[in-house]
């Protein structure tokens, strides 16, 4: 044998119900937890010690950062017409496979966690309650026979789940070519191979199906992962969040518990909060996509993004309509907020970043080949571009209103927000803050491309005190930026000099929070310089 190959079938586009939420994508390019589905499928190929082969539609243009990942992973690409059948896609994928090899075939909308050794000729078996066209099997005369049928409500087990292994690739190639000549499909080819080689069902697997809107969100629920600084668990009905420091979790819970009625349609249903082993709170689990994943990995047209942006601005407008009574915050609160959350936090975190990385606060930089200020001067220049917080700026406040904390409900055209800040940097519990801070957090995603930085989808040139940072922006995102420049959130411009400066400050203040990824940390710094240049060109 000359090794193994792992063919990922992604030669057709996702179904219409998924296109409505993610745009036109091959299934292996669907978002999955801050990355694309194929990046998880590659882990399967590596576990099988197999050469990955990815079958894609002829007309799908690979995004820049996916080209980098595909080249780095040494994935072989095969192309087919978008209307190609499953068998035609398999035939094209087999062009990269040597005849004496072992070949795995994975349907591009599926993912498996395989717990047992894989047989020489095998197929994955799963169960589902979803009413769609699946394939089933039965034993006839001592061999497995496969056929398709429409699911009914009585049978939910023993479904052919979408992963196969063919130990004799050369023989399977011949079968596939003959089946194509006879206008047959994959099931007929599978049955012909099964007549020559005993196919074994594999039950000891975890099967995640991303091929339908219902199963996509169910599969995502099973993959729920916690961030490094908190712990999230879910049973598919609710989400329980704990973490450190406990006061942070308590502040978030307080925000949800005291939410004004008019804002409750914009959040998951709050269930409970309290202390068991540690403090936690419980929310309804949302089966909606995050806007960060749609922005980084989706392929939605600009007019859809305009609708989603309107949903964000609608929420901010509602927030600005809720103002605190003077006895709730005190006369000194505006200046306290500005000094704590904008001015003071920036200076303190810049000092931490400079000390930890042995960087001078006073040495000048270069950005994009041009002279740039020192870190201290950059911070001071950005702060000077922001009018200090006034009493009229204090409204209901989320505090972390970026795409990664915003779910979008396409049916209601409404956002659902999570992870409110709930307190100032000094530990003061509060629901109120400068409305411009929430706008800057939204800009943090829209034109600050924070979510692309987190997903490592950026180009950075970095050496000593010299930086350059670029992002690959598709036409829909460029159009969104044009739309965003002209919009207002309540009575505030979304993208004037002050808003851009405040967004740039956010990137400076988060530098010490990304010490575990030095490249991303340098990109955060470069982004602050990029936004400063954007601010200077803003009329």
Q: How far is the C-alpha of 17 from the C-alpha of 414, rounded, in Å?
A: 18
Q: What is the reported pLDDT for 137?
A: 81
Q: Does 257 or 144 have the greater pLDDT score?
A: 257
SS3 readout for 488-523: EECCEECCCHHHHHHHHHHHHHCHHHHCCCHHHHHH
- pLDDT of 65 higher than 60: yes
SS3 content of the chain, % helix, strand, coil (to 5): 40, 25, 35
Tell me, rounded to whole angstroms, the distance of Cα 419 from its chain centroid: 16
Q: What is the reported pLDDT for 157?
A: 60
Task: For 461-475, write each residue's pLDDT tens digit.
Answer: 999 999 999 998 888
| DSSP-derived 3-state class of residue 233 | strand
Pairing mode of beta strands 365-367, 466-470: parallel
> How many DSSP H helices and E strands does the chain contain?
19, 25
Structural domains of the chain in order of their starting residue, each with its CATH number: 4-222 (3.90.550.10), 224-287 (3.30.200.20), 288-536 (3.90.1200)
- For residue 277, count CB atoms less than 10 angstroms from its CB and return exposed for 0-12, middle for 13-18, buried for 19 or more: exposed
Task: For 429-439, write each residue's pLDDT tens digit.
Answer: 999 999 999 99
- pLDDT of 515 higher than 90: no
Return the sign of the alpha-carbon dihedral for residues 58, 60, 65, 69.
negative
- pLDDT of 149 higher than 80: no
User: Average pLDDT for residues 296-313, to the nearest whole number?
Assistant: 95
- pLDDT of 1 higher than 80: no
pLDDT band (50, 70, 90) for residue 219: confident
- pLDDT of 501 higher than 50: yes
User: Average pLDDT for residues 360-376, to the nearest whole number?
Assistant: 96
- pLDDT of 116 higher than 50: yes
- For residue 482, count CB atoms less than 10 angstroms from its CB and return exposed for 0-12, middle for 13-18, buried for 19 or more: exposed
User: Average pLDDT for residues 246-270, to the nearest whole number?
Assistant: 96
353 near 516, Cβ under 8 Å? no
- pLDDT of 44 higher than 80: yes
Average predicted confidence (pLDDT) for the chain = 91
Q: What is the reported pLDDT for 114?
A: 78
SS3 readout for 345-385: HHHHHHHHHHHHCCCCCCCCEEECCEEECCHHHHHHHHHHC
Q: What is the reported pLDDT for 225?
A: 45
Pairing mode of beta strands 230-234, 143-150: unpaired
pLDDT band (50, 70, 90) for residue 421: very high
- pLDDT of 297 higher than 90: yes
| DSSP-derived 3-state class of residue 159 | strand
- pLDDT of 313 higher than 60: yes
User: Average pLDDT for residues 305-312, to the nearest whole number?
Assistant: 96
pLDDT band (50, 70, 90) for residue 71: very high
């Amino acid at each position: 044998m000359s090794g193994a190959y792992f063919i990922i079938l992604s030669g057709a586009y996702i179904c219409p119900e998924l296109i409505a939420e993610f745009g036109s994508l091959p299934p292996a390019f669907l978002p999955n937890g801050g990355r694309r589905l194929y990046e998880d499928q590659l882990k399967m190929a590596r576990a099988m010690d197999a050469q990955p082969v990815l079958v894609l539609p002829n007309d799908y243009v690979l995004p820049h950062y996916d080209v980098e990942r595909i080249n780095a992973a040494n994935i072989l690409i095969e192309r087919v017409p978008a209307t190609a059948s499953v068998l035609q896609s398999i035939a094209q994928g087999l062009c990269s496979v040597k005849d004496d090899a072992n070949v795995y075939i994975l349907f591009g909308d599926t993912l498996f966690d395989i717990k047992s050794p894989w047989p020489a000729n095998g197929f994955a078996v799963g169960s589902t309650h979803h009413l769609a066209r699946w394939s089933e099997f039965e034993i006839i005369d001592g061999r497995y026979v496969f056929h398709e049928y429409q699911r009914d409500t009585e049978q939910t087990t023993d479904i052919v789940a979408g992963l196969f292994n063919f130990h004799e690739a050369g023989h399977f190639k011949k079968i596939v070519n003959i089946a194509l000549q006879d206008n047959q499909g994959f099931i007929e080819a599978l049955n012909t191979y099964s007549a020559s080689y005993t196919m074994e069902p594999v039950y000891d697997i975890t099967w995640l199906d991303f091929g339908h809107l219902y199963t996509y969100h169910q599969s995502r629920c099973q993959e729920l992962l916690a961030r490094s600084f908190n712990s999230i668990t879910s049973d598919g009905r609710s989400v329980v969040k704990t973490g450190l420091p406990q006061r942070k979790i308590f502040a978030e819970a307080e925000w949800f518990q005291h939410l004004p009625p008019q804002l409750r349609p914009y959040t998951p249903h709050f269930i409970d909060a309290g202390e068991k082993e540690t403090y936690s709170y419980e929310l309804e689990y949302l089966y909606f996509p995050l806007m960060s994943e749609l922005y980084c990995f989706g392929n939605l047209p600009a007019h859809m993004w305009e609708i989603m942006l309107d949903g964000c601005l609608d929420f901010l407008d509602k927030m600005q309509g809720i103002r605190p009574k003077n006895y709730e915050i005190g006369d000194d609160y505006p200046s306290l907020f500005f000094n704590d959350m904008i001015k003071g936090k920036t200076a303190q975190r810049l000092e931490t970043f400079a000390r930890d990385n042995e960087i001078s606060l006073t040495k000048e930089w270069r950005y994009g080949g041009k002279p740039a200020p020192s870190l201290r001067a950059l911070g001071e220049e950005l702060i000077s571009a922001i009018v200090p917080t006034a009493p009229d700026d204090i409204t209901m406040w989320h505090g972390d209103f970026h795409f990664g904390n915003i779910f979008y409900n396409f049916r209601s055209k409404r956002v659902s927000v999570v992870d409110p800040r709930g307190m100032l940097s000094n530990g003061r519990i509060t629901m109120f803050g400068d409305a411009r801070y929430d706008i800057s957090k939204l800009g943090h995603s829209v034109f600050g491309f924070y979510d692309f930085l987190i997903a490592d989808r950026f180009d950075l040139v970095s050496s000593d005190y010299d930086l350059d940072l670029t992002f690959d922006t598709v036409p829909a995102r460029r159009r969104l930026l044009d739309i965003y420049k002209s919009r207002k959130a309540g009575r505030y411009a979304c993208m004037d000099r002050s808003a851009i400066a405040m967004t740039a400050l956010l990137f400076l203040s988060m530098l010490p929070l990304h010490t575990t990824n030095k490249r991303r940390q340098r990109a955060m710094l470069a982004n602050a310089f990029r936004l400063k240049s954007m601010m200077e060109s803003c009329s």
